[in-house]
Amino acid sequence: MTQIPAGSLSCDFPGCKQQFKYENVIDWISHGSNHFLPHPPPSTVNCTFCETQFSGDDPDNTWNQRMKHIKDHLIRDPRNNHPKKDFGVLDYLLEKQLISTDLYN
């Protein structure tokens, strides 16, 4: 589990250490979705704190819902940061050749 400063939103992509203040949540969400370019985000994504899954026909909207949900977890407990991996996202990144096998593991 990664620790970040209280009041920060960190990127949960492998190898990315970017952090954003809570008031920059839109920039945080956009930053995350930019990791998928030139592809859209996956159509099914999971919370990195609980068992909530998001799925839909609009991958960008699904991604936004996921990230807003994760933000709520981070606000409730700012000491924790993405305690579990979203293997669906990681599989998608690997399939689209957006991350290496080393970063996947």
DSSP per residue over 78-92, as a string?
Answer: TT----S--HHHHHH
What pLDDT sits at residue 83?
79
The pLDDT of residue 6: 57
Whole-model pTM?
0.86
Structure confidence at residue 4 (pLDDT): 47
Model confidence pLDDT, tens digit, residues 15-43: 899 999 989 999 999 999 999 999 999 99
Band (pLDDT 50/70/90 cuts) for residue 66 is: very high
Q: For 50-56, what is the mean pLDDT?
A: 96
**Cis, peptide link before residue 78, omega less than 30° from 0:** no
Q: Does residue 59 register a pLDDT over 50? A: yes
- What rounded mean pLDDT belongs to the chain? 89
Q: Quick check: 57 and 23 in contact, CB under 8 A?
A: no
Rounded to whole angstroms, how far apart are CA atoms 30 and 10? 12
The pLDDT assigned to 2 comes to: 45
Give the ranges where 2-104 is alpha helix by DSSP (H): 25-34, 59-76, 87-95, 101-104
